[in-house]
Chains A and B, each alone.
Chain A
Amino acid sequence: MKKLLIYLKDYKKETVLAPLFKMLEASFELFVPLVVAAIIDEGIASQDRLFILQRCGILILLGLIGLICSVTAQYYAARAAVGFTGQLRRALFRHIQSLSYTELDTVGTSTLITRMTSDMNQVQNGLNLTLRLFLRSPFVVFGAMIMAFQIDVKCALIFLVTIPVLSVVVFGIMLISIPLYRKVQQRLDTVLGIARENLIGVRVLRAFCKEKEETERFRQKNQELTGLQKYVGRISALLNPLTYVIINLAIIILIRTGAAQVELGILSQGQVVALYNYMSQILVELIKLANLIISMTRAAACANRIQSVFEIRSSMTDTAKETPDREEGTPAVEFRHVNLRYADGGENALTDIDFTVMPGETVGIIGGTGSGKSSLVNLIPRFYDATGGSVCIYGHNVKEYPVASLRELVGVVPQKAALFHGTIRDNLRWGKKDAKDEEIMEAVRTAQAEEVVLGKEGGLDYEIEQGGRNLSGGQKQRLTIARALVGKPEILILDDSSSALDYATDAALRKSIGALSGRTTVFIVSQRASSILHADKILVLDDGKVVGAGTSEELLQSCEVYREIYETQFQKEAVNR
């Protein structure tokens, strides 16, 4: 958490002034009982109406000064909290964007989103409250005690005992109940989980006739939750009665002691009233303090979670400044004995991959589920770094390219078609920042997406909703292909990106992409043999290894895995055999 505090550096003034003014406000509050004591002892005793009027004027004045201090404090606290969180949020967003695929895989995007949103808000509230109350409450508590000492030492001793006893009770109950409340939350999550599971899996559960069992399970977990809630409830139900007893018993002792002191002439009646007022102030502030500590610990936990995101360092270095010169006659893409092992350990995802692709060639990559097809193509735009061997583009290791220019060189259509809120034009310009409409439409036609664009109201101006919700899977896929084509990348990777297209569209797409070749090096990853049949070179992957390379005819002769895939999809041959 501490490391986050550097984002407060622009708000040093605010961070100091906010609690300071709060303290001022509190100290004016502490004068009130003294003024009231004076009214009783001097004003009423000597029947001095003018004196009473003046003192009441002072009371209002104290209130006014308190108001001004307090408003000032609230302003600075809000500024510091909001400003700090704003800076923190921008820095965290920047940091998350700098993480590489490896880190994104391990942390998970939903976690990151929570850090950016709800954790941030918690931190902002926590900081705001802390600046306002953290000094105020203890100041009132101890201030009241010090004032009591000013009035009478013997009576003040009662304060000296009461405050620790109250603190033990208040903080003790909080300390015991907070972890229990966390447990309650966990059990509530379980109950929520069962409810959600039963809604999402309703078909399967009903198909297996699990209604009764599930109801029983829910009842049991629900009962466990209720049991714990009642248990925690019993503990926190003690807080109010206990503090009430302590503070009021203290008042009783105070009055008894006060009476004796008055009898001796050490104290006046008004001073007893003042002491009584101080005692009443303490309880309110102690409870505020305890609540503050709860929100502070919560905010601190959130801050620590945010901090832990900052501590994740990108495993990818981007030190290259300039795009290296291209050497003539070198292969467009070359894999030299490449191995890849993901950060979460386990087996190699890719083992000893070695091949070359000349500019303009089309490469098909085929293999079963989990055979490493996507892993292989992900190395080309350097989404991951090879853990062994090297990946070269135009004769240079991909690490020698600045990441941004490498990714301009390589266009990728990922498996999952993701589009963003904005017009179709905005989305397609991701491939090239300043693309003209003609360029965009050319790409759209190649991607077989012309009917998608023209079919929408406004064409390129059609507003896509968040996550592309207002488009079908096939439409999204074609637009993501167009997006990659707009930048006219020299190397194009289609990672199983026609799965949602019907066979006729897929065929037309392959044809138009084929027409690009000559200029563009194309990688097509697919499970369908028909998609890669006409590639210049086909790589067959099995368990992370290349088990066959060549044209379709060659592979049918030499590669058993390929033959099996081929035959399961073109059964005529299988039947004839």
Chain B
Amino acid sequence: MKEYGTQTGTLRKVMHYLKRYWFLMALSILFAGLTVATTLYIPILVGRAIDLIIGPGAVDFAGIVRILKEGCVIILATALLQWLMNMINNKITYQVVRDVRNEAFEKIQALPLRYLDQHPSGEVVSRIIADVDQFADGLLMGFTQFFTGVATILGTLVFMLTINVWITLLVVVLTPLSLFVAKFIATHTYDMFRLQSETRAEQTGLIDEMIGSQKVVQAFAMEERIQEQFDEIDRRLEKCSLKAIFYSSLTNPGTRFVNNVVYACVALAGALAAIGGVITVGGLSTFLSYANQYTKPFNDISSVVTELQNSLACAARIFELIEEPSQVPDAADAEELKDAAGQVELEHVYFSYVKEKPLIEDLNLSVKPGQRIAIVGPTGCGKTTLINLLMRFYDVDEGSIRMDGKDIRHLTRKSLRSAYGMVLQDTWLKSGTIRENILMGKPDATEEEMIRAAKEAHADSFIRRLPAGYDTVIQEDGGSLSQGQKQLLCISRVMLCLPPVLILDEATSSIDTRTEIRIQKAFQRMMEGRTSFVVAHRLSTIRESDVILVMKDGHIIEQGNHEELLRKNGFYAKLYNSQNL
């Protein structure tokens, strides 16, 4: 019952999208109805014409020509209607798809990061691409097909009844037999298909793993054993595929046979009726051609119904995404942050990703402009969370974060984020040229500025060695660039826009230590008078920070500069000594 409720709910939302196209929709349905009627009328005309061809000397040419002329007009009209209907359907389908996709994409831009962090990107992408396609194909096309199918069945019935009731009855009673055959085969092959897809999934898993790590396989000379494993699965797959494919391929011959039987019965009944003078030979021919076509709309409808259900499910998934609450919009009176000095204060900040698991509790921190803050601590201690809060990717649960004395919730996100420059461990590059990537933060920078930034980041020399230098196109997520090179590009990006506050989250973790030191010198020059937050694994890189925060389980457990912390001989000292064995 509940399912039904949600389905109608989804349907109502679909209607909302279609409202704009109501006129075209109505036209499409009208044309579909007309097409069905005219299409079905042709066999009747042919039947009538045949009745006028009785034998030598008994051919009514004038009558035939009159009927055929009528036929010509109807044929052309049918074709025209059909073409118009197709065009209208295309227009509606593709435009609805476009609208839904645009809306979904805008939603992504407005969703809180909390949602995006929790949902794998592949899943969201598949909603925008695959689900929308399925929804359009199934729901919109399915709708017209469904309508045409029903109209054809009803139309055929009416036309047949006008010729003869009893033969019509025969067709109506016998035809569903082929549906039973199809249904019978489908239910009995279901298990075979499930076994096939399970076996196939098992095989794909093995292929994925072994070819994906083929180098390891070869390093241990395991090729033969893996091949045996593969062959075993493959033989099993072969067996169950054969079964599934063969048994399911019986559907066509099976239904065709049933149709042939129906055809023979109609021929028998029709011919006997013709002898009795109940129907004409033309009427018989009309009946035969209807009997041939009558099962098709039934098959169509049954496949459309499953497709409709499927696409409703897809639509529900899309709407779920579109209706997800957006992030809290900028406050109406939000200020623009201008020329930030870089004074950051955290006051009694509480935050957790999951209600039951408190992460950051009562965190206090005051950073003066120009200070260099290092954050260290074991994995999961809240280092990255702190960065999420500073940039307002997440909002604090309690307490406040202030930038230059203003609560960041009263600043526009845009101006706040522009004040930060961020380099994350998880480097991300846009597909496009190297140039586009570096210019991301400052699209109007000059060539000299860009090259200077790349040089500061020690990226210039490797970029020049790429096939097309700064215009080299890189694929999604860097492709052939090494992790270290990607980090250098991300650093260039930040070097170019010189933000008042800098966040480096393990920014140099994949860069060798020699280059790292040089880049840090460049950072130091660049950050003169600017505030910076540095998260690092290698303690050697943060020794010279003004303040080192040692975090554990969401709390700051130690705070001070390097010397002070060493003297304290606490957690930091232990960590530092273990790295310098």
Say whether A324 faces chain B, with CB atoms less than 8 Å apart. Answer: no
Contact indicator B422/A207 (Cβ below 8 Å): yes
A222 and B42 alpha carbons, distance in the complex (Å): 42
When the two chains form their complex, are residues A414 and B216 in contact, meaning their CB atoms are under 8 A apart?
Answer: yes
Select from chain B the residue with minimum beta-carbon distance to A567. Answer: B517
Q: How far is the CA of A237 from the CA of B81 in the complex (A)?
A: 11
Q: Which residues of A contact B234 (CB under 8 A)?
A: 86, 89-90, 93
How far apart sit A132 and B440, CA to CA, in the bound complex (Å)? 56
- As a 0/1 sequence over residues 158 to 197 of chain A, the CB contacts with chain B under 8 angstroms (1 = contact) are 0000000000000000000000000000001001111111
**Partner of A241 from B55, B79, B245, B511 at Cβ < 8 Å:** B79
Question: At the interface, is chain B mostly helix, strand, loop or mixed?
Answer: helix
Chain A residues near B245 (CB, 8 Å)?
Answer: 78, 81-82, 128
The verdict on A206 contacting B393 (CB below 8 Å), with A96-B211, A195-B129, A252-B72 known, is yes
- Which A61-81 residues have C-beta < 8 A from chain B? 62-64, 66-67, 70-71, 74-75, 77-79, 81
Tell me which of B21-29, B256-264, B367-375 binds A.
B256-264
Q: Which of A75, A196, A209, A368 contacts B121 (CB 8 A)?
A: A196
A570 in contact with B580 given A197-B430, A421-B209 (CB within 8 Å)? yes
B106 is an interface residue with CB less than 8 A from chain A: yes
CA distance A132 to B424 in the complex (A): 57
Q: Out of A60, A81, A431, A568, name the residue touching B264 (CB < 8 Å).
A: A60
Q: Mark B359-387, 1 if CB is under 8 A from A, else 0.
A: 00000000000000000000000000000
Q: From known contacts A97-B227, A241-B82, infer whether A403 and B482 are also in contact, taking CB-CB under 8 Å.
A: no
Q: Is the CB of B275 within 8 A of A193?
A: no
Q: Does A112 contact B (CB under 8 A)?
A: yes
A245 with B79, Cβ < 8 A, contacts A109-B211, A252-B68, A369-B484 known:
yes
**How many residues on A have C-beta within 8 angstroms of the other chain's C-beta atoms?**
149
B52 touches A259 (CB 8 A): yes
A residues 331-359 in Cβ contact with B at 8 Å: none
Give min CB distance, B77 to chain A, whole Å. 10
- A276 and B264 in contact (CB under 8 A), knowing A97-B227, A208-B441, A256-B65? no
**Contact of A218 with B252 in the complex, beta carbons under 8 Å:** no
Residues 351-394 of A at the B interface (beta carbon under 8 Å)? 367-371, 381, 383
Report Cα–Cα, A403/B249, bound state, in Å: 47
Q: Is the CB of A202 within 8 A of B116?
A: yes
Closest to B437 in A: A204
Residues 99-122 of chain A, each 1 if its beta carbon lies under 8 Å from chain B, else 0 = 111001000010011001100000
Instruction: List B556-576 residues whose CB lies under 8 Å from chain A.
Output: none
B303 within 8 A of A: no
Cα A100 to Cα B223 with chains together (Å): 12
**Contact of B417 with A74 in the complex, beta carbons under 8 Å:** no
When the two chains form the complex, which single residue of A83, A218, A230, A507 contacts B105, counting CB atoms closer than 8 Å? Answer: A218
The chain A residue sitting closest to B285, CB to CB, is: A273
Q: Digitize A454-465: 1 where CB-to-B-CB distance is under 8 Å, 0 elsewhere.
A: 000000000000
Once A74-B249, A226-B95 are accepted as A-B contacts, the answer to whether A210 and B440 lie under 8 Å apart by CB is yes
Using A191-B129, A199-B125, A237-B83 as known contacts, say yes or no to A208 and B214 having CB atoms under 8 A apart: no
- A254, chain B: closest CB distance, angstroms: 10
Task: Report the bound CA distance from A574 to B268 in whole Å.
Answer: 105
Interfacial chain B residues near A49, Cβ < 8 Å:
272, 275
Q: How far apart sit A39 and B270, CA to CA, in the bound complex (Å)?
A: 10
CB-based contact B260/A52 at 8 Å: no
Contact of A569 among B98, B268, B540 (CB under 8 A): B540
Partner among A237, A273, A368, A568 whose Cβ is within 8 Å of the Cβ of B86: A237
A264–B56 touching, CB < 8 Å: yes
**Which B105-164 residues sit within 8 Å CB-CB of chain A?**
105-106, 108-110, 113, 116, 121-122, 124-125, 128-129
Take A63-B261, A67-B253, A258-B53 as given contacts and tell me if A104 and B214 are in contact as well, using a CB distance cutoff of 8 Å: yes
Given A96-B211, A226-B95, A255-B46, answer yes or no on A52-B430 (Cβ-Cβ < 8 Å): no
- Select B218's contact among A71, A79, A101, A268, beta carbons within 8 Å: A101
Contact A403 B219 (CB under 8 A): no
- Mask for B62-96, Cβ within 8 A of A = 1, else 0? 00110010011001101110110011001100110
- Chain B 325-357: CB-based contact to A (< 8 A → 1; otherwise 0): 000000000000000000000000000000000
- B274 CB to closest chain A CB (Å) equals 5
Contact B61 A204 (CB under 8 A): no
Interface residues on chain B, number (Cβ under 8 Å): 139
Hey, which chain B residues are within 8 Å of A215, CB to CB?
A: 105-106, 109
Contact A233/B76 with A78-B246, A93-B227, A197-B430 known, Cβ cut-off 8 Å: no
Task: Please judge, given known A-B contacts A71-B253, A195-B128, whether A276 and B512 are in contact too, CB under 8 Å.
Answer: no
Known pairs A39-B267, A113-B211 / 9 extra A-B pairs, C-beta < 8 Å: A56-B267, A59-B260, A67-B253, A67-B256, A74-B250, A89-B234, A211-B110, A369-B515, A503-B578
A interface residue numbers (CB < 8 A to B): 25, 32, 36, 39-40, 43-44, 47, 49, 52-53, 55-57, 59-60, 62-64, 66-67, 70-71, 74-75, 77-79, 81-83, 85-86, 89-90, 93-94, 96-101, 104, 109, 112-113, 116-117, 124, 128, 132, 188, 191-204, 206-211, 214-215, 218-219, 222-223, 225-226, 229-230, 233-234, 237-238, 240-242, 244-245, 248-249, 251-252, 255-256, 258-260, 262-265, 268-270, 272-273, 276-277, 280, 367-371, 381, 383, 403-404, 407-408, 412, 414, 418, 420-421, 430-431, 433, 466-467, 483, 502-504, 507, 527, 530, 561, 564-565, 568-572
Of all A-B residue pairs in the complex, the 8 with the closest CB atoms, nearest first, are A63-B260, A237-B86, A233-B90, A199-B121, A265-B56, A241-B79, A59-B264, A368-B512
Binding site for A on B (CB under 8 A): 39, 42, 46, 49-50, 52-57, 59, 61, 64-65, 68, 71-72, 75-76, 78-80, 82-83, 86-87, 90-91, 94-95, 97-98, 101-102, 105-106, 108-110, 113, 116, 121-122, 124-125, 128-129, 204-223, 225-227, 230-231, 234-235, 237-238, 241-242, 245-246, 249-250, 252-254, 256-257, 260-261, 263-265, 267-268, 271-272, 274-275, 281, 284-285, 288-289, 292, 391, 393, 413-414, 417-418, 420, 422, 424, 428, 430-431, 440-441, 476-477, 482, 484-485, 510-517, 538, 540, 543, 578-581
